[in-house]
């Protein structure tokens, strides 16, 4: 049960949704899902020009998408990210890992979805570092996308 002050803080977004009584496994799952989303975006990246800017574009995609999503709508967040990296719709729709990720998001409670977005917002550099590390493992075929 939340007291009035805790309710106001949560409503104002001043309280980290991950600070609720979540276990380490849920926090790890959120981090893993974010890293997976990074590698999916890297695989669908289609911005012409210098491929070295890949991670700058993905970081910017997260930043601008977060600014446009004010609720827990992860479908919209992902769509905005895909638009930002100029993913081809045909390739995105055929990307099985993307479909699996969106299905996972759909069954998670709002607190989890807010936690996902809050983690990206509050750990922007770490998200990209972990995402890039996962992408390198995907490229070397250590793990699947």
pTM: 0.84
Phi/psi-derived region of residue 68, left when phi > 0, alpha when psi is between -120 and 50, beta in every other case:
alpha
Q: What is the pLDDT of residues 91-145, one digit of tens each?
A: 999 999 999 999 999 999 999 999 999 999 999 999 999 999 999 999 999 999 9
User: In the chain, where are the structural domains located?
Assistant: 24-139
Q: What is the pLDDT of residues 2-61, one digit of tens each?
A: 555 655 566 566 655 545 556 789 999 999 999 999 999 999 999 988 778 999 999 999
**Residue partners of 66: CB distance under 8 A and separation at least 6:** 77, 117, 120, 121
Helix (H) or strand (E) holding 108: none
């Amino acid at each position: 049960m939340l007291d009035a002050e805790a309710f106001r803080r949560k409503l104002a977004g001043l309280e980290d949704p991950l600070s609720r009584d979540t276990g380490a496994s849920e926090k790890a799952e959120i981090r893993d899902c974010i890293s997976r989303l990074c590698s999916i975006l890297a695989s669908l990246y289609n911005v012409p020009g210098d491929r070295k800017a890949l991670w700058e574009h993905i970081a910017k995609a997260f930043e601008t998408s977060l600014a446009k999503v004010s609720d827990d709508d992860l479908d919209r967040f992902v769509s905005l990210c895909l638009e930002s990296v100029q993913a081809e719709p045909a390739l995105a729709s055929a990307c099985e890992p993307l479909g699996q990720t969106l299905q996972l998001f759909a069954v998670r409670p709002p607190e989890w979805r807010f936690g996902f977005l809050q983690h990206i917002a509050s750990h922007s550099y770490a998200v990209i570092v972990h995402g890039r590390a996962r992408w390198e493992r995907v490229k070397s075929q250590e793990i699947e996308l």
